[in-house]
Structure 1
């Protein structure tokens, strides 16, 4: 069971980020950006005319307030990309108003970094902005500041270090992630001391930070530490919202993963049973959340290896698959549940049942754009046939697997190469068998000719609407 809560997309040309980041590296006077960025405020500050100065700065202050308000509205409407653009505007106006060396400008940049992380899922951009803001905030913190300013700086440092820590975690650097998250924890403690136990409306909550620390600990393979953080997070959620809140679902699923890694399978099953019960009560039995929880529970029973759990594995896998089918879900998750169930069936000697299920899935045409799953299905069916001694059929199915892999990944991809090697071995096995039995080489297409023939007859959307023998 994987715990991968955040997908990491790649961006080849993010012009909003590129413009904003390069702006943060420039050295011109902030007042000069007024003409370049907005072309509205044409006045200039002079030594003798403070009225002109105040009039000039009133425009960006007004625009900053508007951008902040619009950001809040877009967040409520879950329009994440547009909300992130408003954070860019907030940073630009903060730089015009306060100057690039002011802590409020760094605060806006830290908020933007957090936005790139949480709204866009872009850790590289988030890291660059957070690192740009860090030096200003740390330098300013050492100067003489009021309590109000210190609270603002500490809150910004919490966001900044949380962003850096989570970004490192998403890039699979557990040690770096833990280092920065501990700094966030230290600054949060100082913030609480100033606010008499309160975090003052920080975007990063105690729970967020505790979960991130747990994930970083898990990434460093410190299981006991990870378990302690997740137990703490679960306890705080229960204290705040009770035992039935849906916020506990993902926490129970992640702590179950930790228990599985510690080989405490019974404890993992208990956590996943709790997650499943909350899904049923919160979303009903026929829901994607319940289908996913059911599949995870089935896998947990299977991983225990206990014979008394055999019926439970089958029950929960069937529940998951039937729920996905009832909902009309034809996505990666439903196909993964089918594949996991078939893997378990094969491990338990039920090859024929696994083959029947894989064949019905392939013939149903539910794969849609999941071409990789088509290839895996052909591969698994071929493996079942080979185990039964049906070598010719195994070769045919693995050829179809290879053709799909070439269409999706290319002929030089590791998956395509591994399937080619397997096909070569299968064909040699068939030749040896035929020579032993008949004393002559069998007539079948060579490897190259086989793939060429398939290529001529195979639809580009292989596996979507095709039928298999």
Structure 2
């Protein structure tokens, strides 16, 4: 069962941008006398892009740091909306540097900017190691200021930053397969959220980390630590909230149904797992159509769920959903795609384990008759048949001598 909400790139180092934080502690000149050229200036034409670049350069050279920070925060939001994740992450770095200039390194607003950067490394770049490092750098400052707060507005903002910080740490640990540490930090995020609700009389002001995000993460951390009943409770709560807000046909439910089906399989409740995957499949068909990679994925999971039940009456369903999955993958991703080949292999193994030789016919439907995969399947089937014959011969050996003696006695009579 696959459930991977954030894909982690293989590149785990971002030293170019980390170097921005190795700033010397030498005496600084007044903020209004400092200029920072963080955007390259290039181009010689008068295109719209050049005009925009000049405007940004004007903001850089002539604005006060406070104005630069506000501009950078607006630009970050725009870049995230346009899904320009790397550029948005660079802008978050700029926000940290400007916050240091304006507030100083020990101020909670600088720690808040660092928390935003950590969250950006996690959600925009998928880099948990960097996310953890910057979140840890911000933690002590935020906790110190929380204990010495004066204004209500300040307390709300710091609690919001702590929710984001602990969520970031929790998910980062989870992505690195440390379920215990993940759950611990996510619990702290949950407690901070509860504290914010109590402080704000039940209404939570606009948070970047939603209650739904936090509940899903807690469910995944519970699953990672094998607390199946707790994980089930978190996912069921989230599913209920989503259905109330968006209805029972929203694509938001698909991954949750996948994960809750995985929990039911671990609890050996195969019928329940099948029902959740059927719901996911129904939504996929209505949202993405029958022939789509996502529907193909759910069809394969449904086939394997039927197979895991071990029930003879589910045999036809296993074949049906495997064929649906293979056909959809073949049409959308192509015959040589990894998902297509993997699903064919899984179906072939299931057929062989159940004494079936249809696997060859299925592959002929997908490939040309002289394709290497078909030759490979024929070889596998020949080897299996030979192994089966050898196995039977070994079982018969103890009785061969007795049969020979019996045959001789019969001839003598």
Q: TM-score, normalised by structure 1?
A: 0.72
1:398-456 per-residue CA deviation (whole Å, 9 max, x = no partner) reads xxxxxxxxxxxxxxxxxxxxxxxxxxxxxxxxxxxxxxxxxxxxxxxxxxxxxxxxxxx
Q: What is the match of residue 385 of structure 2? A: 388
Please report how far the alpha carbon of residue 20 of structure 1 lies from its aligned counterpart in structure 2 after TM superposition: 3.4
User: Partners in 2 of 1:198 and 1:365 — Cα distance?
Assistant: 66
Does the Cα contact within 8 Å between 2:228 and 2:263 map onto a contact in 1? yes
* Unmatched runs of 5 consecutive residues or more in structure 2: 40-60, 389-413
Please report how far the alpha carbon of residue 101 of structure 1 lies from its aligned counterpart in structure 2 after TM superposition: 0.6
Where 1:389 maps in the other structure, the secondary structure is helix
Among 251, 254, 260, the alignment partner of 1:255 is: 260
Q: What is the match of residue 135 of structure 1? A: 140
Does the Cα contact within 8 Å between 1:181 and 1:212 map onto a contact in 2? yes
- Residue correspondence of structure 1 range 354-369 to structure 2 within 5 A: 354-355=359-360, 357=362
Q: Measured at CA, do residues 358 and 318 of structure 1 come closer, stay the same or move farther in structure 2, by a change above 3 Å?
A: closer
Q: Measured at CA, do residues 97 and 209 of structure 1 come closer, stay the same or move farther in structure 2, by a change above 3 Å?
A: same
Q: TM-score, normalised by structure 2?
A: 0.81
User: Partners in 2 of 1:378 and 1:197 — Cα distance?
Assistant: 66
Whether 1:277 aligns to 2:282 is yes
1:270-313 per-residue CA deviation (whole Å, 9 max, x = no partner) reads 00011111111112212222111111111111111111111111
Where 2:242 maps in the other structure, the secondary structure is helix
Does the Cα contact within 8 Å between 2:249 and 2:283 map onto a contact in 1? yes
User: Partners in 2 of 1:202 and 1:365 — Cα distance?
Assistant: 58
Where 1:179 maps in the other structure, the secondary structure is helix
Whether 1:27 aligns to 2:17 is no
Please report how far the alpha carbon of residue 342 of structure 1 lies from its aligned counterpart in structure 2 after TM superposition: 1.4
Among 325, 342, 345, the alignment partner of 2:351 is: 345
User: Partners in 2 of 1:165 and 1:381 — Cα distance?
Assistant: 49
1:300-340 per-residue CA deviation (whole Å, 9 max, x = no partner) reads 11111111111111111111111122224453322222222
Does the Cα contact within 8 Å between 1:291 and 1:324 map onto a contact in 2? yes
Does the Cα contact within 8 Å between 1:165 and 1:181 map onto a contact in 2? yes
Whether 1:218 aligns to 2:213 is no
1:219-246 per-residue CA deviation (whole Å, 9 max, x = no partner) reads 1111111111111111111111111111
Please report how far the alpha carbon of residue 39 of structure 1 lies from its aligned counterpart in structure 2 after TM superposition: 8.9
Please report how far the alpha carbon of residue 345 of structure 1 lies from its aligned counterpart in structure 2 after TM superposition: 1.0
Does the Cα contact within 8 Å between 2:325 and 2:343 map onto a contact in 1? yes
* Unmatched runs of 5 consecutive residues or more in structure 1: 41-55, 368-373, 392-469
Where 2:22 maps in the other structure, the secondary structure is helix
Does the Cα contact within 8 Å between 1:61 and 1:97 map onto a contact in 2? yes
User: Partners in 1 of 2:370 and 2:147 — Cα distance?
Assistant: 64
User: Partners in 2 of 1:72 and 1:364 — Cα distance?
Assistant: 54
Among 232, 254, 263, the alignment partner of 2:237 is: 232
Does the Cα contact within 8 Å between 2:38 and 2:94 map onto a contact in 1? no
Please report how far the alpha carbon of residue 35 of structure 1 lies from its aligned counterpart in structure 2 after TM superposition: 5.0
Whether 1:332 aligns to 2:338 is yes
User: Partners in 2 of 1:228 and 1:13 — Cα distance?
Assistant: 37
Among 157, 160, 163, the alignment partner of 1:158 is: 163
1:324-371 per-residue CA deviation (whole Å, 9 max, x = no partner) reads 222244533222222221121121112x3324545776769999xxxx
Please report how far the alpha carbon of residue 150 of structure 1 lies from its aligned counterpart in structure 2 after TM superposition: 0.5
Does the Cα contact within 8 Å between 1:355 and 1:384 map onto a contact in 2? no
- Residue correspondence of structure 1 range 73-84 to structure 2 within 5 A: 73-84=78-89
Please report how far the alpha carbon of residue 7 of structure 1 lies from its aligned counterpart in structure 2 after TM superposition: 2.3
Q: What is the match of residue 51 of structure 1? A: none
Q: Measured at CA, do residues 39 and 285 of structure 1 come closer, stay the same or move farther in structure 2, by a change above 3 Å?
A: closer
Q: What is the match of residue 112 of structure 1? A: 117
Please report how far the alpha carbon of residue 185 of structure 1 lies from its aligned counterpart in structure 2 after TM superposition: 0.2
User: Partners in 2 of 1:364 and 1:31 — Cα distance?
Assistant: 76
Q: What is the match of residue 7 of structure 1? A: 7
Does the Cα contact within 8 Å between 1:3 and 1:257 map onto a contact in 2? no
Whether 1:38 aligns to 2:34 is no
Deviates more, 1:356-365 or 1:195-204: 356-365
Please report how far the alpha carbon of residue 58 of structure 1 lies from its aligned counterpart in structure 2 after TM superposition: 5.2
Where 2:358 maps in the other structure, the secondary structure is helix
Q: What is the match of residue 466 of structure 1? A: none
Q: Measured at CA, do residues 364 and 378 of structure 1 come closer, stay the same or move farther in structure 2, by a change above 3 Å?
A: closer
Question: What number of residue pairs does the alignment pair up?
Answer: 365
Q: What is the match of residue 265 of structure 1? A: 270
Q: Measured at CA, do residues 380 and 136 of structure 1 come closer, stay the same or move farther in structure 2, by a change above 3 Å?
A: farther
